[in-house]
Chain A
Amino acid sequence: MKRYIYNLVWLLVITSFYQAMGQTNTIVTGTVSDKSGPIPGVSVIEKDMANNGVSTDDNGKFTLKLRGSSGILVIKMVGFLTKEVKVSATPLQIIIEEDTKGLEEIVVLGFGQKTKKITNTGAISAITGAEIRQSPSASLQNSLAGRLPGFFSQQRSGQPGKDGASFQIRGVSTYASGGTSPLIIVDDIEFTLDQVNQLDPNEVESVTILKDASTTAVYGVRGANGVLIVRTRRGEAGKPTLTFRNETGLQMPTRRPEMNDGYNTLQLLRERLVGQFVDPTSSYPQYFSGNNLDHYRLNDDPYNYPNVNWWDEVMKDVSIQNRINFDVSGGSKIAKYFVSLGYLAQGGLFKDFSKDQGYETNYTYNRYNFRSNVDIDPTKDLHIRLDLSGRFGITNEPYDKAWNNGGTIFQYLWNGELSSFLYPVYWPNGLIATSTSTATKPNPVANLKYAGYTRSYGNNLNFVAQANQKLDFITKGLGANALVSFASDYGFTRTLRRSGSGTNLEILAYVYNANTKSYNPWKTDMYRMGTLVREGSSGGTNKLLNVQANLNYNRSFGNHNISALALVNQTTTAINALEPSNIRGFTTKAGYNYKQKYLVDFSAGYNGSDKFQSSKRYQFFPAGSIGWNISEEPFFKNSVKFVDALKIRASYGLVGNDAIGTSTFAYGKTYSTGSGRAYEFGETPTSNAGLIEPTLSNYDITWEVQQDGNVGVDLKMLKGKLNFVVDYFYKKRKNIVSAPGTLPGSFGASVPLYNLGIVKNTGYELDLTYRDRINSDFSFFTNANISFAKNEVVYRDEPATLYPWLSSTGKPVGAQFGYTSDGFYQNLADLYTAPKLTTSIPLGNLQLGSIKFTDLNGDGIIDQNDFGYLGTNSPKYTTGLSFGFSYKGFDISTLFQGAFDYIIRFDRGILAYSRPDRQSVPYNLGRWTPITGENAVFPEISGSPNNTPGTNNVNLSSYWFASGDYIRWKNFELGYRFPQQFVKKLHLNNLRLYANGYNMGLVYTALPVFIDPESAVSASAGEYPQQRIINFGIQIGL
């Protein structure tokens, strides 16, 4: 059926070309300019002949053959007021005026609604597809950092296919584990974070974030985290435009681990052993007896005393990313189309060890995507839209975890678990070396060469059909609209690996036996390579169906402008065997303005989610907003000439969040058997099944509700050159789903989740843009924005604490607790007299140079009562600064981005020194010794419990956290558009060469170690390093 419709659409498209042929043949020529000179790239279209238009050339000139009978040209250009010109004697001299007040600017709202910027009263930020495409990152959301005020993101990984940043809109307003991710809507289809990650930026027309209640209340129970709306490109009437883009990018890690060499690591090991009263020579004769250490220093015997830099051995300096896009768009009055094909190939960082094995073990990502957006207007009043799009992604990863005993090679490189001095890469006879030591990991070269791969396939197909009927015959301005969208996601994985399992994977590598002077396989008598085994598993099938229908009304009565919308909506998500979950609801919206001066909007969602009990399913989420265009007032217009537009606006409303981290039926409870519940009886103990009462059910559980207020000012001045937007917001999230912390144990059962907590989130956004066109050849822009969001747990049901620093209440969400470090113990008197843990024994397990903890409550001992608040891992500020200019065919732009006021735990890899056969990092060299004393940056290394963050956080202290503040040179783009005369000779429409870059460099970071400030959250994060991409592209318009 779908295919049939699709063919029909194509037929319509093709017939529309023929229709456009053969009319009158008047040829019009002319020049379009503004005050400062001719303007290239202006659309000149014949009125009522939407497909008959041209763009002005570099000198603002155009030539158009008229085909219709109106004799009127429509002149359109972004940033200028649209103008209609009657054709008279040619050449025409057309002057167009800048749109200094933004009268023509459109903003996108929820459920496919749009409004003029001048009458908008909500908090919205948007970015165009053209700006997004300045970033060569494969993931859409990575291009948004620093560009959208209110958008907070952190890119944790650079792995091909999995490098998308996680993001929030206006920070976090809940401490519940459920979801803080915004609702993501791509052309009326709800996307998950993973899916939006795979969206080809080439398809994108605009990205808009909805930030306040007046814009998100229409989504009701799902609006509280904000909404991100992506609109894809659509065809415009006119001749078919064919565009071809080819890009080649060079990917390099932003930061890589730096390790000490073997000699320095062994020096530290010796110091540590001596500190523990252990004789290094007898414990590790291989390293310390005789003059062995000298061999490590001199590197004179790389086989017996190796010094391997594993990163250099297994990594390439540069990996390649390739991207090809091909678009066709155009159409007639009846049918318009945009068709796009895309291909992306991202290579991985590892060297090609497996080449001769006939399979690929590197990290790679391949993505094929297509989109066909078609608009049909069979009658003047009916508009039909059919979108079909899909993506097929293939992510390849080495099968390295099994032989590594669970971790990836990246993990072990970051953790310093691969020893540089234990075995070389290859033995002198060319055999691959390895070690059977449990402290270090097997040779990654053997792993990458022989272990095989895991390949996961993701297939995503989306379909949207929409019909829009004008109902002017009932009353003018009335319309009706119906929409069905369907998205299906299917994935599976395939593995090719060696026989054997886990750490016994049958990979051939050799260890050296110094006694027999022979090379033996690491696994006794296994002189063969394991056979290859193919395995596969199917991932989930995910089906999402959305149905919408609405009635809308837009009409002006003189100076009174009215708009209204009533919409019903249902979304069904079906995942494998799970009971499908449904969200159903009604949305209304009404707006009124007087002369576009006094603006009032009301919107509401009434919807529900079947996670909750039937009586708790539906709620009404209203929001209202008002605006005042002061600049339209006569008194202002006449007196303040340099201001073009000034609007103040305010909104307030309720929104909800049903992403509470529980599955369908959050309220149910089920008695269950299982391990740990059984008990043994009998003289031969025999297990008898046990059944347990579950966590009790709370039938009243429901979603979180947020009060959401916003005030903002929009200002345009200096003839539209300076654009300033400021917003202040206040959010109060209530009913946060959490477990009560104060129920007495005498109750005897596990208690369910309740709607208990309250979190307040306040902040502001500033956005300042200055753009100017000096003359027809030169224009420039600069933009600075800053977003600030600060949250605080107002209430959560936790036991009252003895001291204020112990409680989560009053602290930000995600508060990190630990001892406060107060430098290192510098003298014996201090060691014996200063407050310490009850388990600390001076000179026993507490040495000079150990981390000293602050006694917060002053009771003379360090205990849980001194385990205070240290900070959070979420930045409070994010900023962006971009600027650029264009001169003739050249354009240059760049973006700096930063995040501030948060902390990062940085101990990853820097404690490896404490395990023999692992690596140390340069930071360890700053250890405390009696000589370094006050200048030491790292504690003494003989092993005081105070000097490790500890299991269960027993000794976690502020020492292990550093400020995460950073400023990054995020993007740049340099392009050159060839002159028309030259391009014409090549029989092309246009030709552009460009180079752009992503993650160009860290301008500033406060971290004392080598990890990327975005990657690190804890010791376990940050495996595949973030990538810098330098990209070269060519765009050809045919």
Chain B
Amino acid sequence: MKKYSFIIWIVALLFLMASCKKMVESGPLEFTNEDNVFDPQDSVGLFTEQFLNNIYAGLPKGFNRVNGNILDAGSDDALPNSTLDNVQYYSTGAINASVLPDNSWDANYAGIRKVNIFLSKIDRITLKASLKGYKERWKAEARALRAMFYFELVKRWGGVPLIGDKVYGIDDDIAIARNTYAECVNYINAEFDAAIPNLLAPNAAGTFSSTFYGRFSRGAAMAVKSRLLLYAASPLNNATNDVSKWQVAAKAAKDIMDSVDAGKFTYALHNTVSTTHYTAANLTGVAPITNSAAYTTSVNKFLSIFSTASNNEIILPAMAAANTSVESSNDPIGYARGGDGKTNPTQELVNEYEMTNGKMISETGSTYVSSTPYYNRDPRLPATVMFNGLYWLTRTVQTYDGGLDRPFGFGRVNNGETRTGYYMRKFMTSNGSATAFANANHVFPIIRYAEILLNYAEAQNEAVGPDASVYAAINAIRTRVGMPNLPAGLNQAAMRTKIRHERRVEMAFEEQRFWDIRRWKIAENVLNGTLHGIQGTLNGTAINFQEVEVAPTKFDAAKMYWYPIPFKEMVSNSLMRQNPNW
């Protein structure tokens, strides 16, 4: 009996062991790896193209991208509506290596890595004959994107480490020194030059296939180069005012203008009303009584640049699906749609808009009346800023104290309503109803043709002086919105002032001013003091307007022209050196 039971036991054990059949897979078989993405047998490059598409998603987005605010809310053009929103640390001087709201270091290097992976792997695939040339174009697009990512780094931090085509592995020691600003600019420039021959070329009519809109084209590469070289020639990066740098910058812009003139590109200032934002009746009290129809057309034209998904003016867009985020973030707070009213333009910006006669409001003969401050101003003002009395959705905006869009009034609260008495108008569409948002196209114009004209005018004025081509470029921009031409006979300095003025009012909230005040080295002047707003007080049915101080600003010229290198980079890269005085 004893032995018998023991045998049963053994048999049972054997049975158990035999039943341990291998049913477990030894690894994650369902995972997609690099070999699937760059599959030599994939003749259409399905995953390869998807990999490239994702690199595009790293392009700067523009709208409300800094923790819900636009970048220019950190300049003298606007303020965020909450005192806690960190984008204004740039104007209050509160940034440091640990607290850096617009820290795109990691994101741009992530983009660079993606490009490097793409370039190192793409030659594995062979596309079918009908896709001839696609591979070369994809490579060129990737290189252009990489150059763009570097430019994003360089304009923030100056010289950054150039890592070439290197794809780091997790065991690599990553100690890389910074390259100089000049080396970076040369590298970016050279990369664009190398990419341009294989980039998307316009057809005989100067346009691109409609499905390719949004891709990095030759024109886009040339346009980014224009901005790159302009920045490199600017006072911040050109301490000796080397005129040859201005010449190079002028030429880069001129190349695009010449190609347009030669019919190679169809870029132009968008000069039609593609969306009727306002009727003349809507603009009662804003448009001049004598000329309200033309004025309304100008306003609508200017707004139309931003309310269409594509037009001839936009050279490089940051594409996005139709959405409601611009409206929901920036709608004045008193409307039933429940907008956040985030971007609050400053009085400084509003004062920059001329009267329709071409005179600044402070000039003699301007015809400016302080009790009707928004009447008869540059049409770009009602197309950029929402002020008290501007029509929006169902009624006029009420930003007087106690008004629907400013219920608490000036200085009473720290968030929840406008701090300056203004809201942003520029990129907004009135899509949807008075009570609900609806999707609208919001393609951020990273570069549009007007900037090329401004770039050219600025560089040419510095390189040569205010010649006729400078006048032509600026006047083209002014003519589009019905503003009179610049007065003749300006000297170089006066022209510089006019160009800077034009750039500020034309490009407001398009991530230009933020960088312009740095490269012109004027941030220490415009951001050391107080930013202003307006207080409207209801007096019977009339409103008394008074300029008020809203926010103190501080800009330390010794260090703030460049961002501090993020703290993590400093401690993790032994060769990293901090920018001066941070």
Contacts and interface: CB of A to CB of B under 8 A. Distances in A.
Interface of A: 276-278, 378-379, 381-382, 467, 469, 471, 473, 480, 482, 484, 547, 549, 570, 579-580, 582, 610, 614, 664-665, 668-673, 676-693, 696, 698, 741-749, 751-752, 799-800, 802, 838-839, 841, 844-845, 863-865, 943, 945, 950, 954
B98 interface: yes
B171 to A, nearest CB: 10
Contacts of B176: 744, 746
A278 B566 CA distance: 43
Given A467-B12, A693-B114, A744-B569, A679 B168 contact: no
A689 B321 contact: no
A712 B57 CA distance: 61
Given A665-B27, A682-B214, 13 more contacts: A379-B2, A579-B24, A665-B28, A668-B28, A673-B50, A680-B321, A692-B114, A744-B174, A745-B110, A745-B568, A749-B110, A864-B98, A865-B98
Contacts of A277: 408-409, 412
Contacts of B26: 610, 614
Contacts, number: 219
Contacts of B319: 679-681, 685
B321 A685 contact: yes
Nearest to B105: A745
B309 A684 contact: yes
Contact of B6 (A469, A665, A945): A469
Contacts of B109: 745-748
A682 B113 contact: no
Given A670-B33, A800-B571, A841-B83, A692 B6 contact: no
A680 B323 CA distance: 12
Contact of B113 (A480, A749, A838): A749
Contacts of A752: 170
5 contacts: A469-B9, A610-B24, A746-B573, A802-B98, A838-B94
Contact of A672 (B32, B322, B571): B32
A122 B37 CA distance: 54
Interface in B31-67: 31-34, 36-37, 47, 49-51, 53-54, 56-57
Given A379-B5, A482-B13, A745-B109, A688 B50 contact: yes
B9 A839 contact: no
Given A580-B24, A614-B26, A954-B84, A799 B412 contact: no
Contacts of B83: 839, 841, 844-845, 945
Interface in B88-122: 89, 92-94, 96, 98-99, 105-106, 109-114, 116-117
Contact of A745 (B24, B215, B566): B566
Contacts of A482: 9, 12-13, 16
A681 B170 contact: no
A668 B34 CA distance: 12
A742 B568 contact: yes
Contacts of A747: 109, 113, 168, 174
Contacts of B105: 745-746
A677 to B, nearest CB: 5
B95 to A, nearest CB: 10
10 tightest A-B CB contacts, nearest first:
A748-B113, A690-B54, A670-B31, A745-B106, A668-B28, A691-B50, A680-B319, A845-B414, A665-B28, A683-B310
A381 B2 contact: yes
Contacts of B25: 579
A690 B2 CA distance: 70
A671 B118 CA distance: 13
B459 to A, nearest CB: 31
A668 B27 contact: yes
A547 B96 CA distance: 59
A473 B50 contact: no
Contacts of B571: 742, 799-800
B321 A469 contact: no
A276 B213 contact: no
B84 A681 contact: no
Given A278-B412, A681-B214, A745 B569 contact: yes
A575 to B, nearest CB: 14
A696 B99 CA distance: 27
Contacts of A687: 321
B317 to A, nearest CB: 9
B408 to A, nearest CB: 6
A746 B211 contact: no
Contact of B117 (A610, A614, A673, A693): A693
A369 B572 CA distance: 57
A307 B500 CA distance: 63
Nearest to B554: A838
A844 B414 contact: yes
Contacts of B413: 276, 943
B576 A744 contact: yes
A682 B28 contact: no
Contact of A681 (B92, B168, B213, B322): B213
Nearest to B311: A683
Contact of B213 (A668, A671, A683): A683
B195 interface: no
A480 B9 contact: yes
B57 A685 contact: no
Given A688-B50, A693-B117, A467 B174 contact: no
Given A277-B408, A678-B53, A688-B50, A671 B170 contact: no
Contact of A473 (B2, B84, B114): B2
A698 B169 CA distance: 10
Interface string B539-580: 000000000000000000000000000111101110010000
A582 B24 contact: yes
Given A614-B26, A677-B54, A690-B57, A844 B9 contact: no
A698 B170 CA distance: 8
Nearest to B211: A682
Contacts of B412: 276-278
A57 to B, nearest CB: 42
Nearest to B94: A838
Contacts of A379: 1-2, 5
Contacts of A582: 24
Contacts of A610: 24, 26
Contact of B37 (A276, A668, A691, A749): A691
Nearest to A277: B412
Nearest to A481: B9
Contacts of A685: 214, 309, 319-322, 441, 443
A679 B54 contact: yes
Contacts of A841: 83, 414
A757 to B, nearest CB: 17
Contacts of B53: 677-679, 681, 688-691
A677 B52 CA distance: 10
Contacts of A741: 568
B92 A838 contact: yes
Nearest to A579: B25
Contacts of B573: 744, 746
A682 B213 contact: yes
A614 B28 CA distance: 12
A839 B113 contact: no
Given A691-B37, A742-B572, A744-B572, A679 B57 contact: yes
A192 B83 CA distance: 48
Given A665-B28, A670-B33, A838-B89, A746 B161 contact: yes
Contacts of B20: 547, 570
B411 interface: yes
A484 B19 CA distance: 13
Contacts of A742: 568, 571-572
A379 B28 CA distance: 49
A671 B47 contact: yes
A954 B82 CA distance: 13
Contacts of A579: 24-25, 28
Contacts of B9: 382, 467, 469, 480, 482
